[in-house]
């Protein structure tokens, strides 16, 4: 397995470098490395390693969100407050339900089937968006209006809403009873609770780090472990049944608290996490690429799938402009925010096959395997279409649409 890891890293770094030479985002090279090494091409990834990568993707997301939290302070949040809240749910919810309507009309799906599809595709990819926004922040683009931070905050919450609503539709598909009153109460409460718990854990880490003088590298490890444990606890079925706590938002809040109360340490930890991200980024994007199941995409579905995905993006763009209506952003900056909300990858790779799995396991009634395959095919195509467009759009248009 060690040689397998060496192969993955070597190919990913090579393609990253080649894409950088032609001025394209290096992450596209890493995704292609995953496609080449995955089961649909050369099948060169050890099954045990593939299982590890599936688990590791959560660690990579945690590292991304810690980096984001370590770069957001109170003054910045005040600047982006209301628009960020609107950006966190309006574009995604509009896109999700827009796809519900379109897939009923084009694919003949039932409302429940269309709901599962809509909110698999609706989630924006923090794996693509967050590193790109951090790079723009570091280079000073959009600093006067904190536009990268606005996108960071909105995109981090966007997934919470998409995954929660997807969970509702999968619950309906498996015959579970859903209390909509409870849902309306628990989703906002879970978001607030996740943020509060993250702030508390961040404060406890500060107390611990001030009391025990240890190397920054060890502090980084302790921080990652605390974030992983917290996130895994929030994912426990017994807890989610009571209230769906926004664990990943809490992870981001930990970094925010350390920056607010111990800024000197936050700066040092940020440098450490930048180094951790070098490896985490490779393994995450290779995993995403390896999960692209080309065999599930039939020729008959490509045209309809492309139309559904493009219509969804148009609706999402309208949602972004609605979210930023009456804000102090000009049209160029609003356009940049819309482009930043295009990439899809992480969530689609993680849950795209869930409906098909439930169907195969016999946990749903009245839903065919063909429908499950179609949903998976659209999840795969949404990655193939939007991840390159979004990543390239952010890289090339960010410096042109935002003031430095």
Where are the domains positioned within the chain? 57-404
| pLDDT score of 199 more than 80 | yes
pLDDT at 176: 73
Q: Which residue stretches of 38-146 are H helix?
A: 47-69, 74-107, 111-121, 126-138
- Token match 């706590």: residue? 245
Task: Give the per-residue pLDDT at 179.
Answer: 76
Query: What's the pLDDT at 296?
Result: 66
**182, pLDDT greater than 80:** no
Torsions phi, psi of 215, nearest 5?
Answer: -65, 150
Q: What is the pTM of this model?
A: 0.88
Q: DSSP label at 141?
A: T
Q: Which residues contact 57 (CB under 8 A, 6 or more apart)?
A: 283, 284, 287, 288, 346, 349, 350
Instruction: Kindly give the interhelix angle for 47-69 and 147-173, rounded to the nearest 10 degrees.
Output: 130
- pLDDT, tens digit (0-9, with 9 covering 90-100), for 287-304: 998 888 777 676 778 899
- Structure letter (DSSP) for residue 294: G
d(CA 240, CA 238): 6
User: For 254-268, what is the mean pLDDT?
Assistant: 95
- Fold category of 57-404 in CATH: Na+/H+ antiporter like fold (1.20.1530)
Q: Is the pLDDT of residue 247 over 80?
A: yes
Percentage of the chain beyond pLDDT 90 is 67
Specify whether the CB–CB gap between 258 and 269 falls below 8 A.
Answer: yes
Closest CA to 124 of 74, 86, 160, 164: 160
- The pLDDT mean for the chain works out to 91
How do residues 219-244 score in pLDDT, each as one tens digit? 999 999 999 999 999 988 788 778 88
CA angle 345, 164, 339 (to 5 degrees): 40
Structure tokens at 160: 């919470």
If you average pLDDT over residues 137-159, what whole number do you get?
90
Burial class of residue 213 (count of CB atoms within 10 Å of its CB; 0-12, 13-18, 19+): exposed
């Amino acid at each position: 397995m060690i040689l397998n890891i060496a192969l993955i890293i070597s190919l990913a770094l090579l393609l990253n470098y080649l894409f950088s030479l032609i001025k394209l985002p290096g992450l596209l090279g890493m995704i292609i490395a995953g496609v080449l090494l995955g089961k649909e091409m050369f099948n060169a990834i050890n099954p045990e390693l593939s299982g590890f990568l599936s688990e590791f993707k959560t660690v990579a997301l945690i590292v991304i969100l810690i980096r984001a939290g370590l770069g957001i302070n109170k003054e910045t949040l005040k600047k982006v407050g209301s628009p960020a809240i609107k950006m966190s749910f309006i574009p995604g919810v509009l896109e999700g339900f827009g796809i519900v309507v379109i897939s009923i009309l084009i694919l003949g799906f039932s409302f429940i089937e269309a709901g599962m599809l809509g909110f698999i595709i609706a989630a924006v990819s923090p794996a693509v968006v967050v590193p790109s926004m951090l790079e723009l922040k570091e280079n000073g683009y959009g600093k006067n209006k904190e536009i990268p931070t606005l996108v960071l905050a909105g995109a981090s919450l966007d997934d919470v809403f998409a995954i929660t609503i997807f969970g509702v539709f999968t619950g309906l598909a498996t015959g579970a009873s859903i209390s909509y009153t409870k849902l309306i109460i628990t989703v906002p409460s879970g978001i607030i609770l996740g943020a509060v718990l993250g702030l508390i854990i961040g404060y406890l880490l500060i107390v611990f780090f001030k009391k025990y003088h240890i190397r920054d590298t060890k502090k980084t490890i302790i921080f990652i472990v605390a974030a992983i444990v917290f996130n895994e606890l929030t994912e426990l079925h017994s807890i989610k049944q009571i209230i769906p706590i926004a664990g990943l938002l809490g992870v981001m809040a930990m970094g925010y608290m350390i920056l607010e109360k111990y800024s000197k340490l936050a700066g040092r930890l940020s440098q450490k996490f930048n180094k951790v991200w070098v490896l985490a980024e490779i393994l995450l994007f290779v995993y995403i690429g390896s999960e692209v199941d080309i065999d599930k995409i039939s020729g008959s579905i490509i045209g309809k799938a492309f139309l559904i995905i493009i219509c969804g993006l148009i609706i999402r763009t309208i949602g972004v402009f609605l979210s930023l209506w009456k804000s102090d952003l000009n049209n160029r900056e609003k356009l940049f925010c819309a482009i930043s909300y295009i990439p899809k990858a992480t969530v689609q790779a993680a849950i795209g096959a869930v409906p098909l799995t439930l169907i195969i396991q016999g946990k749903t009634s009245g839903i065919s395997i063909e429908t499950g395959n179609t949903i998976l095919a659209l999840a795969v195509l949404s990655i193939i279409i939007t991840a390159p467009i979004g990543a390239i759009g952010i890289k090339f248009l960010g410096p042109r649409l935002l003031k430095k």
